[in-house]
């Protein structure tokens, strides 16, 4: 899949390398460990094994087991340790191995990580970046395909980001780790492997900036993580029918780029938001509201949502029936066109 | 693309089986096999089963003769594989297949504006 909009801000002298998202994240972690001696990487199997998805491969060997280390299988303890380390001047980058394993750590994340700086009137920043392999698409068992973005976005004090391609994965991770606020960095597992030509670059857009992946004029598809790829597929198929779809990668799920959304939908006059999480109280509702608040008079049709269903995330074989399909997205587009 | 060797050890084919007897190799040294192609038929105390190939690659070495008993965990076959060509799945789940041309049923009618 080619990227359809060139990044204007790419430095001309950085070489183009062929990288998967997995490798791009590994490169970002390596660069962060190099640039800042306070950065620590830890979690279940991130050290000796190099992570179940090989994202942290080679880091312990390069930076030693004091900076890249394995933890017990205790997610609450992993996040609790991150809090203690952050209080003492470290810049922790913990990994919780899978989305569903974040639930046991919710107390630490919501009650400590998100609030400590507020509670201490700004005296105790929590520069923690929680790396969370997220979303579905790899036919894994239960607890390995959850989409928790609405839960984290709803928690004051947290920032939430989900990259959709290797280049963004690299620069958004640099940006997240360098931020003095806690960030939940959601890695779309389904997109770990596809290699793309990438120019690794320093982050240049402010936190909370979306990105137009594909320009179009008839409707805007809004997505994040692996659903961006799905929407680009849909846009390419729609083009065969003479329908020109814009694809907006939201990237930051907190703070949300309300201005970017408004700029796109004001032009296209139609919006479809696509996510893997269940429909009810999902982030699509927030996006639809922001679009409606800001573009009410421009809209040619109500904002459509194409999402997972209001059921627990299904194990392996049922996954393709649960995740937004190309046809479901196309039907939603048709509803906006015919309204 | 760099080549590397991958040795496949005899997996536990049932609940706690300790060994299996090689009945018939369905590949020979030098063969190029696809992932999931039949590799070898073995017999355990429960049944005879055909083990599919866990990798795509060239067969570099067979570690057991036919009729030989192989303990679980011992080498069965060594492959020469492309080092970086095929994305490796994690310990959980699988690499999603990328369709060259995604399937669709819904056709759109362009708007009048």
**B110 touching chain A per CB within 8 A:** yes
Residues in chain A within 8 Å Cβ distance of B109:
241, 334, 337-338
Residue A147: CA count within 13 A, CB half-sphere:
34
- Are residues B88 and A54, on separate chains, in Cβ contact within 8 Å? yes
DSSP class of residue A235? H
Residue A2 has pLDDT above 50, yes or no: no
Cα–Cα dist A46/A68, whole Å: 7
- Of A149, A207, A209, A210, the C-alpha closest to A181 is A207
Task: Mark whether A273 and A184 lie in a shared domain.
Answer: no
ipTM score of the complex?
0.79
Can you give the CATH number for the domain in which A308 is found?
3.40.50.920
Residue A315 has pLDDT above 50, yes or no: yes
Locate A190 and state its tokens. 């389904």
Nearest-Cα distance to chain A for B1, in Å, is: 14
Q: Which residue has the tokens 């880091």?
A: A59
- Are residues A20 and B106, on separate chains, in Cβ contact within 8 Å? no
Fold of B3-82: OB fold (Dihydrolipoamide Acetyltransferase, E2P) (2.40.50)
Residues in chain B within 8 Å Cβ distance of A52:
90-92
- Whether the ω angle into residue A218 lies within 30 degrees of 0, i.e. cis, is no
User: Which of A141, A193, A330 has its CB closest to that of B106?
Assistant: A330
Cα–Cα dist A185/A133, whole Å: 8
User: Which of B87, B98, B110 has its CB closest to that of A20?
Assistant: B87
Strand A91-95 with A39-43, pairing: parallel
Residues in chain A within 8 Å Cβ distance of B89:
138
Residue bearing the bigger pLDDT, B95 or A99: A99
- Please say whether the beta carbons of A182 and A129 come within 8 A: yes
**B87 touching chain A per CB within 8 A:** yes
Residue A44: CA count within 13 A, CB half-sphere:
17
Mean pLDDT in residue range B41-64: 90
> Known catalytic residue: A154?
no
Locate the domains of chain B by residue range: 3-82
User: Which of A137, A189, A334 has its CB closest to that of B106?
Assistant: A334
* Per-residue pLDDT reduced to its tens digit, A250-271: 999 999 999 999 999 999 999 9
The residue length of chain B stands at 113
* Per-residue pLDDT reduced to its tens digit, A216-237: 999 999 999 999 999 999 999 9
Task: Mark whether A272 and A233 lie in a shared domain.
Answer: yes
Residue A9 has pLDDT above 70, yes or no: no
Task: Mark whether A224 and A305 lie in a shared domain.
Answer: yes
Locate A207 and state its tokens. 């936190």
The domain of A234 spans: 211-338
- Are residues A138 and B113, on separate chains, in Cβ contact within 8 Å? no
Task: Mark whether A182 and A318 lie in a shared domain.
Answer: no
pTM: 0.82
B15 pLDDT tier (thresholds 50, 70, 90): confident
Angle between helices A166-178 and A21-35 (to 10 degrees): 30
> Angle A317-A319-A321 (CA atoms, 0-180°, nearest 5)?
100
Nearest-Cα distance to chain A for B107, in Å, is: 7
- Of A10, A80, A68, A60, the C-alpha closest to A40 is A68
- Please say whether the beta carbons of A112 and A80 come within 8 A: yes
Residue A219 lies in a domain: yes
User: Which of B87, B106, B111 has its CB closest to that of A218?
Assistant: B111
Task: Mark whether A241 and A161 lie in a shared domain.
Answer: no
What Å distances lie between residue A127 and A91, A112, B13, B73, B78, CA to CA? Answer: 6, 12, 48, 45, 47
For chain B, give the mean pLDDT.
86
Q: Catalytic: which of A144, A218, A229, A275?
A: A144
Residue bearing the bigger pLDDT, A4 or A76: A76
Residues in chain A within 8 Å Cβ distance of B110:
218, 241-243, 337
What Å distances lie between residue A251 and A48, A49, A130, A149, A256, CA to CA? Answer: 31, 29, 16, 11, 8
If one counts the domains in chain A, the total is 2
Task: Mark whether A194 and A280 lie in a shared domain.
Answer: no
Q: Quickly list H helices, A9-58.
A: 21-35
Cα–Cα dist A142/A319, whole Å: 11
Burial of B71 (0-12, 13-18, 19+ CB in 10 A): exposed
Residue A127 lies in a domain: yes
For chain A, give the mean pLDDT.
95
Beta strand spans in A156-214 (E): 159-161, 183-188, 196-199, 211-214
**B16 touching chain A per CB within 8 A:** no
B107: nearest CA partner in chain A: A241
* Per-residue pLDDT reduced to its tens digit, A163-185: 999 999 999 999 999 999 999 99
């Amino acid at each position: 899949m080619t990227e359809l909009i060139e990044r204007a801000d790419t430095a001309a002298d950085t070489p183009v390398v062929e990288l998967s998202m997995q490798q791009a994240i590994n490169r970002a972690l390596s660069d962060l460990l190099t640039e800042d001696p306070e950065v620590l990487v830890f979690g279940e199997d991130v050290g000796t094994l190099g992570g179940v998805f090989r994202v942290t491969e080679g880091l312990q060997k390069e930076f030693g087991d004091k900076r890249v280390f394995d933890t017990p299988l205790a997610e609450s303890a992993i996040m609790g340790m991150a809090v203690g380390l952050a209080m003492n001047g470290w810049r922790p980058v913990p990994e919780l191995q899978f989305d569903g394993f974040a639930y046991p750590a919710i107390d630490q994340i919501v009650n400590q990580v998100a609030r400590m700086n507020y509670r201490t009137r700004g005296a105790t920043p929590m520069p923690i970046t929680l790396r969370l392999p997220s979303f579905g698409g790899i036919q894994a068992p239960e607890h390995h395909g959850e989409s928790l973005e609405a839960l984290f976005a709803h928690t004051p004090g947290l920032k939430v980001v989900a990259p959709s391609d290797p280049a963004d994965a690299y620069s958004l991770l640099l940006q997240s780790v360098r931020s003095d606020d806690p960030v939940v960095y959601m890695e779309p597992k389904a997109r770990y492997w596809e290699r793309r030509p990438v120019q690794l670059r320093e982050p240049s857009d402010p936190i909370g900036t979306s990105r137009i992946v594909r320009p179009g004029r008839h409707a805007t598809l809004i997505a994040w993580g692996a659903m961006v790829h799905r929407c680009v597929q849909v846009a390419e198929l729609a083009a065969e029918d003479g329908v020109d779809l814009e694809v907006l990668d939201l990237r930051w799920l907190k703070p949300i780029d309300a201005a970017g959304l408004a700029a796109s939908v004001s032009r296209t006059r139609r919006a479809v938001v696509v996510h893997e999480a269940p429909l009810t109280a999902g982030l699509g509702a927030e996006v639809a509201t922001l679009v409606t608040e800001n573009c009410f008079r421009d809209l040619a049709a109500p904002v459509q949502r194409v999402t997972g269903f209001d059921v627990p995330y299904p194990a392996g074989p049922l996954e393709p029936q649960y995740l937004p399909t190309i046809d479901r997205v196309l039907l939603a587009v048709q509803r906006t066109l015919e309204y | 693309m760099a080549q590397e060797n991958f040795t496949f050890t005899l997996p536990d084919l049932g609940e706690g089986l300790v060994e299996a007897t090689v009945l018939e190799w369905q590949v020979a040294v030098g063969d190029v096999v696809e992932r999931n192609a039949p590799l070898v038929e073995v017999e355990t105390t429960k049944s005879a089963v055909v083990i599919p190939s866990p990798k795509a690659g060239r067969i570099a070495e067979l570690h057991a003769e036919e009729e030989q008993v192989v303990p679980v965990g011992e080498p069965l076959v060594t492959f020469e594989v492309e080092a970086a060509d095929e994305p490796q799945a994690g310990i959980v789940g699988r690499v999603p297949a990328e369709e060259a041309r995604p399937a669709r049923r819904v056709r759109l009618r362009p708007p009048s504006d």
